Structure 1
Amino acid sequence: MTVPCLQPTEAQAVALLSRGIEGPVVMLNLLRFRGVADYTATPLLAPDEPISGSAAFDLYVDATRPHLERSGGTILFSGAGGPFFIGPEAEQWDRAMLIRQASVQAFIGWATDEAYLDGIGHRTAALLDSRLLPLVPDGVTLASD
């Protein structure tokens, strides 16, 4: 089993910025939820009754969507996952999302905004594991090319 990934490392942040992506970027999110959300780290955000990880993630989306849209971002797709058709049989993701941002800089600005960070505890409570893959349209020249 792989180590759960919930936040980028400093090296991953530096690598993203060093790619030199100009223009829009789409973030592919793969999400695996807890059966019951764990609000241990952010008890002030916890609902009165226990909720599922999926429900906690929905609270995160509701809390952060205005900040995402203000930064020029939008949710292009959000849907239920499941087992891969082509991929490791033991690996499964509960939800996949595609989030479009105007630029990497806009994404970083959104992800570090204090108002956005106020609701991130719902994400932490919701997730067992995640992946975030920046996608760049074909034909875009990158600094790493």
Structure 2
Amino acid sequence: MVTFRNAETTDLSEIVKMLADDVLGQERERYENPLPESYIDAFQSIDSDQNNELIVACLDGRIVGVQQITFTPYLTHQGGWRATIEGVRTVASERGKGIGSQLIQYAIERAKARECFIIQLTTDKKREDSLRFYERLGFTATHEGLKLKL
């Protein structure tokens, strides 16, 4: 049975390993020992922010998935809150076994518990399988997302 918990500092190596374990992740992540200090700094910022949750999925004592959920207040929608899901990954050996779906369902439940009016996410256009995955879970591409790299 898959369980979920907040990530701990000792989980960082496994998390970064998952983030780096795909074509796009290999280009932008640095899975090294020791990890670059930037990951530790980011983790500490996330962990100390009540509106951020870094969640790991565990199976038989092993970390098999990760996602970050950020809760943001907005003036739109009458001052409602929204949840944003980022960095969803499942360890390669467990892909296709429903762990990703369980991660997203967990995020949806967290968003409901925080009384969010919407939950959103983005996926790189090159990740066609991910797009189909999110659509199967009920997400729809209602907006065009734009980014500016700094």
Give the TM-score, by structure 1 length: 0.29
Give the TM-score, by structure 2 length: 0.28
Q: Work out which structure has the larger RCO, using CA pairs closer than 8 Å and 6 or more positions apart in sequence.
A: 1
Decide which structure has greater helix share.
Answer: 2
